[in-house]
Structure 1
């Protein structure tokens, strides 16, 4: 069977969907990655995928311009002729679904997060919802990464309940992401946020919480690992991030090819995001047995049982974030270790990628019934 995977970045397929790709290849299927070309496209080919470039802006919000994507998707889908298409991210989900319908190919969509258009309600968000309502008539299955996102789509009549299902994010490879062989509390204590420098990720609140904590515990380290993203109005300017670093509120680590190594060097992973699908960074942190502090919002709250493997804080509230980070900091070493072990247990029992892969295989079988191999 020929299966296409369509996302707004090759990087995304390689970093978040590679285990699914490998499982499909191991089952004897042909996998075609359709995405904009980037440094990871060749790596997908090296893993056994066929790659078809399809340029698209990941951040553009001009619906008239984006409507031209339907033609691009249709051309690609007719050329590749897959038996089923797996679509992720907003533009493939919307415009790819219309193109797949025109091409007569079943699709399985994944709403991996609602993004900025659902955080701020304006004309753009209204148009996005209208587009979802139209295009989501067509998929054979729509996966959501948390119950809140699914309920929001149902409440606004954007999708039929009969084709929806909730899966645990993109899942996490618990055999690859492992706890450090020996537990060690860092001296000084290290908080780490793994995220692009975006307002909606709660970076401003993280810096404000750092100021509050450093007033009491000047020795603690507060780190940010991730890229600067100055596109649109959602990215925080490099000059501001560098200013925070210069003033000592934040250690800006930039990007790394060894994220796991950086996470191992932290005592607690923090993500004060405004809303997520299911944040992969927190799944990785949980698998590596790290306590987590995150916001009590859809997507994030699923990764933490409050007081068990971390703490939930109020969204857009730096004072409450600082209080929850302080609670972790004040834990005795055995309690800190136990909280990390609970994170690992949660990763194994709830978020292991095998659960996600199983659901995809079932959905593919259902969507392609009668099509043969």
Structure 2
């Protein structure tokens, strides 16, 4: 089991979420090939010491012809290359790479990093996707879940009941990169939301809460947004909408960054009012590792990161009022009180969400196939 493929729907994802996993695999003697759509991060992946193969994946699309092409491309790669095992990440990869690997006689380990609206929406596309998920996951050799809710959902829907599984602490946080960085004590309380700019992530509620608190506190509060805008998703926030909010003076949009720790360091609190079915949000883990209080929703994947009133606050999904109340609690605190919550966040991340736990579980799973 020396030749490993890692697949995801973007090279950006693999580099930003699985870079240290790749390093650990190479250090352990594995040969690693990344199969993903080519983007500006593909070359960075090769610099880590792995090979790269480009593949077409219409990650947000519902065209069955495109998906069949993706499946066939995976199959050609697995038949032509000497591959022992495939590590799949992101939804379409979990489906089509798994099926192609089984057909080619290659083992696969899947990572269920949240299920979005897949088991909530009753659209035709979602119903088809559920059938594909149910069929494909039964062909996997091992499944990692990022939270117990998703694991229970698979059980209740009788998905992959005979496939071995385990729970990971999300994708973990790199505790050596994300270190405690107190915000400046200058009388301004700064909030940050890092995510793809989707309304399902609670962007609308965040903006509404910001509007209410700006009206109350003026320039003594600041609300920032960081993440991909105008993405290929029905819930996407448009550039025009973001510009309207920025022009109104409600939020500051920071674009995207490869140096998110610099942005997190400047703020007093990380916020994610998501009602999307998350895995465990990476932004919350990284902010917690940097000693930031967290405000998030009582939602799948999100609630795991907060012990209410210990390292932050949990609010109701889709409720601007509940979110505003939680953020107001942060504003009302002294700088020292916020630092106490932040220190508790660091402790929680160290104990429960260290990325090394994730990597060791992957190495252990791989060793079971040798």
What stretches of structure 1 of length at least 5 have no aligned partner? none
Residues 1:168 and 2:204 aligned together: no
Instruction: Give the TM-score of the pair, scaled to structure 1.
Output: 0.95
Q: Equivalent residues in 2 for 1:1-373 (5 A)? A: 1-160=2-161, 162-180=163-181, 184-219=184-219, 220-274=221-275, 275-366=277-368, 368-369=369-370
Contact 2:98-2:139 at 8 Å conserved across structures: yes
Q: Check the 8 A contact 1:201/1:272 in 2, yes or no.
A: yes
Cα RMSD, aligned residues only: 1.3
Which runs of no fewer than 5 residues in structure 2 stay unpaired? none
SS of residue matched to 1:118? coil
SS in 1 for 2:292: coil
Shift of 1:197: 1.4
SS of the residue corresponding to residue 39 of structure 1 reads: coil
Residue 230 (structure 1) shift: 4.1
Q: Mean alpha-carbon deviation: is it higher for 142-151 or for 157-166?
A: 157-166
C-alpha displacement at 1:81, in angstroms? 2.0
Does the residue aligned with 2:185 lie in a helix, a strand or coil? coil
Q: Distance in 2 between matches of 1:203 and 1:34?
A: 32
Q: Deviations over 1:90-133 (max 9, x none)?
A: 11111111111111111000011112323423222211111111
**How far apart in 1 are the matches of 2:201 and 2:284?**
13
- Determine if contact 1:170/1:353 at 8 Å carries over to the other structure: yes
SS of residue paired to 2:118: helix
Q: Provide, for residues 145-178 of structure 1, a one-character-per-residue CA deviation record: whole Å limited to 9, x for no partner.
A: 0010111111111221651211101111101110
Displacement, 1:257? 2.6
- For the Cα contact (< 8 Å) 1:154–1:161, is it kept in 2? no
Say how many residue pairs are matched. 367
Range 153-162 or range 254-263, more displaced: 153-162
Structure 1 pair 31/230, CA: closer, same or farther in 2 (3 Å)?
A: closer
